[in-house]
Amino acid sequence: MTILFRFILIVCGLAFPLCSQAVEQIDKTLALSYDISLFHNILKALGAIAVFFIFLALIGRAAKFARNKIVKLTISKLPKISLGRISVIDPQRVSAWLKAIIYIIYYAIIAIVAYLCVIYILNCFPYTRSWAGTLGSGLANLLINMGEAVLRSLPGLFAIGIIVFVTHGLTHLINSIFKAIERGETTLPWIHQDTAAPTRRIVVGLLWLFAVVMSYPYIPGHESIAFKSMSIFVGLLVSFGSAGIVNQAMNGLVIMYARSFKCGDYVKIGEVEGTVSELTMLSTKLCTIRHEEIIIPNSVVIAQTTYNYTRISDKHGIGISTAVAVGYDTPWRQVHALLLMAAENTKGLSKDSAPYVIQTALSDSCVDYTLVVHMIVEPKMRQFVKSDLHQHIQDAFNQYGVQIMSPTRIVSGVPGTVPAERWYAEPAKEDRAV
């Protein structure tokens, strides 16, 4: 408006030269008053910003002081209550909750003061004063509506708070009991140590699901059309998308409660062999000797044959078997002796459990022999011990001129065995330790 008014006066001054001096005087007066008021408004805005940052520093120091004071008082004054080895009230946990509440209050105060500061700054300038009024009335209406909604919802929110508080306390108690069972500190006749972890997850999940069902009637707006539509949409998503997940989870529960293996066991699942690094509701992770992490879905684990070498590693050791096929022209007693000699030369095998040989089949052109030994080293060394055993079997059969045939006899003019002088043919180097 001021610019328009100046423009009109200038036009009038050009049209009527006699009024030029009056125009200049009025223009200077308006410009001076406009500059002074704008300068005052800018100072007010800068002062509000400075006060806001001073308030931020003060409220930050107050929050830090309150946080440290509460932590000290909670740890020093609040007693630790426990039932046996199960903790009921832990000062560390209580202090953590109080610190979280202080953080929430701190950021809420900062947000409110920042909003009021913006309203004040906008109110300092004529062109943005309407925006300040809109923001102020909007905030007032919002606070009034929220206050009315909170007052109407107080009984329901109070009921939800009680349900959540009781559920959280029961969750903490259940976690303490089952974790004590997992660590072996507490025993219950109907819960095994290996199944304590999945049982804890199931019980806690069912408990919170029951809490949600109990809290649903007290949720504000649960009878509205939007809330019901959202509930139906979420239900459809869960119904269509959880079929495969539920199948995997049920297979995971079967594996956990069957106690086929646990984390740290050395197993063979189908054709994959390695150490179990993680067992979840959906998959099983194996770490192989080649430092590969293989993830196997639990549905595949259920369908495959699982060998647990850690579970059977008692004082007799882990059984290892290997098979060879030898022709009928070689005496079976000689084959037995050669296989047992190879077992004696292999390191890491048990001396208490003697190795033995089984003739598993009389095929058309050869006889199938199976050597069974027992390993006493760590289960993860199984592949290395078996490789060493195969090397000694080859050396023994080559030394005595016996040909290994698998699966059928090969008729050719080439000798079926390797002479001793060719055992270390180039580029192989002689192993002095053998």
Q: Determine the 3-state secondary structure of 71 from DSSP.
A: helix
Q: Are residues 376 and 394 both part of a single domain?
A: yes
Q: Are residues 11 and 57 both part of a single domain?
A: yes
**Which CATH number goes with the domain that contains 416?**
3.30.70.100
Question: Distance between CA 250 and CA 396 in Å, rounded?
Answer: 50
> Which pLDDT value is given to residue 317?
74
Q: What are phi and psi of 387, to 5 degrees?
A: -65, -40
Judge whether residue 370 has pLDDT over 60.
Answer: yes
Q: Determine the 3-state secondary structure of 127 from DSSP.
A: helix
Residue 365: inside a domain = yes
The pLDDT tens digits for 274-298 are 888 888 777 888 888 888 888 888 8
- In terms of pLDDT, which residue wins out, 235 or 109? 109
Check if the beta carbon of residue 186 is closer than 8 Å to that of residue 85. yes
Q: Which helix (DSSP H) or strand (DSSP E) does residue 227 occupy?
A: helix 225-241
Question: Distance between CA 117 and CA 113 in Å, rounded?
Answer: 6
Select from 97, 130, 147 the last residue of a domain: 147
Q: For residue 349, give every residue at least 6 positions away whose Cβ sits within 8 Å of its Cβ, in sequence order, or none.
A: 317, 343, 355, 373, 374, 375, 376, 385, 389
CA torsion 114-116-117-122 (nearest 10°) is 130
Residue 381: inside a domain = yes
Instruction: Please report which confidence band the pLDDT of residue 183 belongs to, taking 50, 70 and 90 as the band edges.
Output: confident
Residue 201: which domain range? 174-241
Per-residue CA distances from 82 to 91, 115, 164, 173 (Å): 11, 46, 21, 10
Q: Are residues 14 and 125 both part of a single domain?
A: yes
Q: For residue 420, give every residue at least 6 positions away whose Cβ sits within 8 Å of its Cβ, in sequence order, or none.
A: 398, 399
Question: Distance between CA 13 and CA 28 in Å, rounded?
Answer: 14
Residue 164: inside a domain = no
Q: Where are the alpha helices (DSSP H) in 259-355?
A: 298-303, 332-345
Six-digit token string for 237: 């998503």
Candidate from 217-221, 242-246, 272-276, 365-369 with smallest mean pLDDT: 242-246
Instruction: Please report which confidence band the pLDDT of residue 177 belongs to, taking 50, 70 and 90 as the band edges.
Output: confident
Q: Which residues pair with 295 in a beta bridge?
A: 285
Residue 282: inside a domain = yes
What's the average model confidence in pLDDT over 289-310?
Answer: 84
Q: Are residues 131 and 206 both part of a single domain?
A: no
Q: Are residues 139 and 182 both part of a single domain?
A: no
| Residue among 269, 260, 262, 312 nearest 288 (CA) | 269
| Mean pLDDT estimate for the chain | 76
Six-digit token string for 383: 């592949």
Six-digit token string for 397: 């059969």
> Which pLDDT value is given to residue 351?
77
Task: Let me know if 201 is exposed, middle or buried by CB neighbors in 10 A (0-12, 13-18, 19+).
Answer: middle
Per-residue CA distances from 169 to 3, 87, 172, 174, 204 (Å): 69, 11, 5, 9, 11
Q: Are residues 353 and 300 both part of a single domain?
A: no
> What's the structural domain count of the chain?
4
Residue with tokens 């903790």: 87
Angle at 427 between CA 423 and CA 429, to 5 degrees: 60
**Largest interatomic CA distance in the chain:** 141
Q: Are residues 418 and 393 both part of a single domain?
A: yes
Instruction: Please report which confidence band the pLDDT of residue 371 belongs to, taking 50, 70 and 90 as the band edges.
Output: very high
Check if the beta carbon of residue 349 is closer than 8 Å to that of residue 343. yes
Residue 304: inside a domain = yes
Question: Position 390: which residue type?
Answer: H
Question: Position 302: which residue type?
Answer: I
Question: Distance between CA 342 and CA 365 in Å, rounded?
Answer: 24
Question: Distance between CA 160 and CA 148 in Å, rounded?
Answer: 18
For the chain, what percent of residues have pLDDT higher than 90?
A: 6
Q: Determine the 3-state secondary structure of 244 from DSSP.
A: helix
The pLDDT tens digits for 28-60 are 444 444 456 777 777 877 888 888 888 888 888
Q: Are residues 398 and 270 both part of a single domain?
A: no
